[in-house]
Amino acid sequence: MKAALLEEFEQPLNVTTTRDPVLPDDGIVVRVNTCGVCRSDWHGWKGTNPLIKRPHVPGHEFAGDVVAVGPDCHQINIGDRVTAPVIMGCGCCPTCRQGQLTLCDTQHVIGFSGWGAFAELVAIPYADSNAVVLPDSVGYDVAAALGCRTTTAFAAVVDRAQVRAGESLAVHGCGGVGLSAVSIGAAVGATVIAVDIIEEKLHLAKEAGATHVVNAATVNDVAGTIREITGGGANASIEALGITETFHNSLRCLAKFGRHVQIGQPLDDHATPLIPLLETVYYRQLSIMGSRGLSAHRFPALFALIAAGRLDMQRLIKNRITLEQASDVFYQMDNHEDVGITLIESI
């Protein structure tokens, strides 16, 4: 099959012909139609994800057609149009049986612990528990755009922060996952305040449903500005970058009893920030939560938002590229120059 191989970190991917994936007994093989290019892929390309063993095929935000089904897979058929969450639980352990597949101890992380979808074909294990058959109303491009960004944002906004209509939601960072959080917040009826340092991304945030935007490069106090906008602080706040400064802004912008959800992946020194526990968290009784991925059984709730016209993924898709151009996007991400969602469509 044709695939983009990661052979050296921070170097261009090698688009070449390599071995086809092995069909798992409990899984499927999918012919990839479309795949998103995500900042999580960039982290892997930078060499910060210990799961990756080179040579490696990145890519986890995919949609395509099932071309093979293993003997122990009983709910998916050849010809089905499918996607799958980036984090796939086994479906059998006590954690998975509680519906928390993203916390499975034997999870498979597509594009990280196994080869991904920057390729013509990708293998999906645990398919009965993880493969998501697409409704006719959801195209390959929208399914790939949902990817890990929108599904992660949905889990953070709806399932973890439990944002309700009439509440205020701050979103720090308007990359792909941040813009998705803005869209989800607007879809559930929240007042959304979007924060970034790039005007083009803030413009996209307004298009995605943000009520207010804050350019962190031009204001002296991001958290104070949000507290002023909301009349005392946001009910919930999403940190979508994994950066210490924005983490603190997220905590400080919250109202009493506010909920912070961390979806940006913090690395290096950003992974261990000092927390103002007494004044900020304890006295104001804040909740600090993490959120990573979305289990397959929650995808229909996302599809329902799309069907109801409350979530428009097309407006977030800003770039459609070939497999050979994927490396260019990684270099753009080095300087946060990527805008909106980029999809690989010519594989």
pLDDT tens for each residue of 36-71? 999 889 999 999 889 999 999 999 999 999 999 999
Q: Is 199 helix (H, G, I), strand (E, B) or coil?
A: helix
For the chain, give the number of residues.
347
Asked if residue 315 has pLDDT above 90, the reply is no
pLDDT given at position 144? 96
- Backbone dihedral angles phi then psi of residue 64, each to the nearest 5 degrees: -175, -160
Q: Are 230 and 190 in contact (CB under 8 A)?
A: no
pLDDT tens for each residue of 196-236? 999 999 999 999 999 999 999 999 999 999 999 999 999 99
Q: Write the DSSP symbol of residue 6.
A: B
pLDDT given at position 115? 97
Closest CA to 60 of 321, 293, 335: 293
Q: In the numeric block, which tokens belong to residue 61?
A: 């935000």
pLDDT given at position 339? 81
Can you tell me the distance from the alpha carbon of 83 to that of 29, in angstroms, rounded to the nearest whole number? 11
Asked if residue 151 has pLDDT above 80, the reply is yes
Residue 279, burial from CB neighbour count under 10 angstroms (0-12, 13-18, 19+): exposed
pLDDT given at position 176? 85
Taking the whole predicted model, whether its pTM rises above 0.95 is answered as no
pLDDT given at position 316? 84
Q: Which of 149-153, 224-228, 276-280 has the highest mean pLDDT?
A: 224-228
Q: What is the set of domains in the chain, with CATH numbers?
A: 2-134+313-346 (3.90.180.10), 150-290 (3.40.50.720)
pLDDT given at position 32? 98
pLDDT given at position 39? 87
Query: DSSP labels for 250-271?
Result: HHHTEEEEEEEEE-S---GGGG
Asked if residue 31 has pLDDT above 90, the reply is yes
pLDDT given at position 335? 84
pLDDT given at position 178? 94
- Average pLDDT estimate for 287-310: 95
Can you tell me the distance from the alpha carbon of 53 to that of 47, in angstroms, rounded to the nearest whole number? 10
Quickly state the pLDDT bin for 90 (edges 50, 70, 90): very high
